[in-house]
Amino acid sequence: MPKVQCFECGEEYSSDEIIYRCDKCNSLLEVTYSDEEIREKLDFDLLKTKELGVWKYRPFLPCDKRVSISEGATPLYEAPKLAEWVGIDELYIKHEGDNPTGSFKDRGMTVGVSKAMELGLDKVGCASTGNTSAALSIFGAKAGIGSVVLLPAGKVAMGKVAQALMHGAKVIAIKDNFDRALELVQEAANKLDIYLLNSINPFRLEGQKTIGFEAVEQLGWETPDRFVLPVGNAGNVTAIYKGMAEWERAGIIEKPPTMTGIQSEGSKPFVEAVKNNKDKITPEKDPETIATAIRIGNPINGPKALEAVYQTNGSAESVSDEEIIEAQKKLARLEGIGVEPASASSVAGLKKLIEQGRVDSDEKVVCVTTGHLLKDPQEIIDILEPPIEVKPNFEKIKEIID
Ligand SMILES: *Cc1c(COP(=O)(O)O)cnc(C)c1O
Ligand SMILES: [Zn+2]
């Protein structure tokens, strides 16, 4: 059985206990495996089976599969035209928008909701900038347990709200920002017996580790030099690094790739912490960006994600909303990869780091695009010219095409 351990003081907890922070020091918790467990679980035959998706990597997951909807197994695209645009020789896009609800959150939720079922709980909940709520809702629906989601009112992209509503979650819009919604859902979880599935929950992060596993496998068991990804609550940076560090311990890879986190200029507490070499985040009060999925002033996994960056000699950078939109268009028009704004920040950030000489053009880089284009149709309507309306007349059409 894996243990649950405090990330700061090392205090150990049973993995059957429902607990989200250390009783002793109030720090974050993580799921840990002993060296013996890592060795025992290592099974190359399994890793080489044709099976695809999150549960393929079950030797490195903390519970059994109880609810699953074809999560994971997302494409890793080689992106030569985009590589040229950002100024790098070799670039890969791990497109997490191809998950069942259109974001990587499905990887975390298949494991998180399976854990809730193992614990015998009948309600799950989260606060969300949107995608977490969509993922929680489908796995809650499939598992036949109730889902409660708290959203910042008016700040969630339409596609995401639509998903949560349609899959039958109780959707509550808080007249404040995401950070406040997260405080409230933690209180609700403690007082109302709801299993909390924000990324403070260490079991959810275990599922998200599989992004890194899959990318390495898709590269022919070769480790990329670097992962670049958007940072909101900093769960994904944490999770991918954790998985890679476990594969290093298991002897599957030589060392974890360099972890690079990208935020938006209007919402960059993580970038500030890295730039100042801090091991804690100073929260930002009023984060604002077109990339609503990462509009977060107080990234809950800050301490863990900072370690992921420091341990791998990584970096963090911020990009403007204009740079995000430009990268979003390039992804769509050069490579046919449709992403929501937050996802494009990874590519925008990589471009900036290359221009600054902080990433070499001969590195093998994987950018993670975290969510699908259709999540946020309003953003697209706002940034692009609308369709040209004409009378049903061939001459008119010819005029426009010419
Ligand atoms: C949740 C989310 C993020 C942020 O991920 P964290 O793990 O919170 O850092 C980025 N992009 C999209 C599309 C998301 O849904
Ligand atoms: Zn502790």
The full set of domain ranges for the chain reads 1-32, 76-101+204-383, 103-202
**Is the CB–ligand 1 distance for residue 256 below 6 Å?**
no
Report the separation in Å between the CA atom of 316 and the middle of ligand 1, taken as the mean of its atom positions. Answer: 15
Alpha-helical (H) ranges within 362-402 are 377-383, 394-401
For the beta carbon of residue 368, count every other beta carbon within 10 angstroms: 26
**Is the CB–ligand 1 distance for residue 234 below 6 Å?**
yes
95 in Cβ contact with 337 (< 8 Å): yes
- Give mean pLDDT in consecutive 10-residue pieces for the chain, a chain of 402 residues: 95 96 98 86 69 92 96 98 98 98 98 98 96 98 98 94 98 95 95 96 98 96 97 98 95 96 98 96 95 95 98 98 98 98 98 98 98 96 94 93 92
SS3 of residue 217 by DSSP: helix
Ligand nearest to the Cα of 4, by number: 2
233 in Cβ contact with 198 (< 8 Å): yes
- Our CA dihedral for 348, 349, 351, 356, rounded to 10 degrees, sits at 140
> Strands 146-152, 76-78: parallel, antiparallel or unpaired by DSSP?
unpaired
Ligand nearest to the Cα of 209, by number: 1
Residues 221, 219: Cα–Cα separation, whole Å: 6
Place of tokens 């010819």: 398
Report the separation in Å between the CA atom of 111 and the middle of ligand 2, taken as the mean of its atom positions. Answer: 24
Indicate the burial class of 222 (C-beta count within 10 angstroms; 0-12, 13-18, 19 or more): exposed
Whole-number pLDDT of residue 41 = 66
Residues, CB-to-ion distance under 5 Å, ligand 2: 6, 8-9, 11, 22, 24-25, 27
Chain centroid offset of residue 144 CA: 25
Amino acid making up residue 356: Q
Whole-number pLDDT of residue 39 = 76
Closest CA relative to residue 216, chosen from 342, 364, 103:
364
Whole-number pLDDT of residue 42 = 66
CATH fold match for the domains 76-101+204-383 and 103-202: yes
For the beta carbon of residue 193, count every other beta carbon within 10 angstroms: 12
Report the separation in Å between the CA atom of 70 and the middle of ligand 1, taken as the mean of its atom positions. Answer: 20
Please provide the DSSP assignment of 5-39 as one string. EETTT--EE-TTS--SB-TTT--BEEEE--HHHHH
Report the separation in Å between the CA atom of 21 and the middle of ligand 2, taken as the mean of its atom positions. Answer: 8
18-22 own/partner pairs: CB under 8 Å, 24+ apart: 18/119, 18/121, 18/195, 20/186, 20/189, 20/196, 20/200, 20/201, 21/200
Whole-number pLDDT of residue 65 = 97
CB half-sphere exposure, 170, CA atoms < 13 A: 10
DSSP secondary structure letter of residue 153: T
Q: What is the CATH number of domain 103-202?
A: 3.40.50.1100
Whole-number pLDDT of residue 38 = 81
Residues 336, 338: Cα–Cα separation, whole Å: 6
* H/E stretch holding 335: helix 321-335
126 in Cβ contact with 195 (< 8 Å): no
Whole-number pLDDT of residue 43 = 64
Shortest-distance Cα residue to atom 4 of ligand 1: 232
Strands of the 226-230 sheet, one edge to the other: 76-78, 90-95, 364-369, 226-230, 258-264, 315-319
Main-chain phi, psi angles of 133, to 5 degrees: -70, -35
Whole-number pLDDT of residue 46 = 67
CA distances from 139 to 5, 92, 105, 168 (A): 26, 29, 11, 11
Closest CA relative to residue 365, chosen from 235, 224, 264:
224
Ligand nearest to the Cα of 232, by number: 1
CATH topology of domain 76-101+204-383: Rossmann fold (3.40.50)
Paired residues of 230 in beta bridges: 262
Whole-number pLDDT of residue 135 = 98
* H/E stretch holding 315: strand 315-319
pTM above 0.75, yes or no: yes
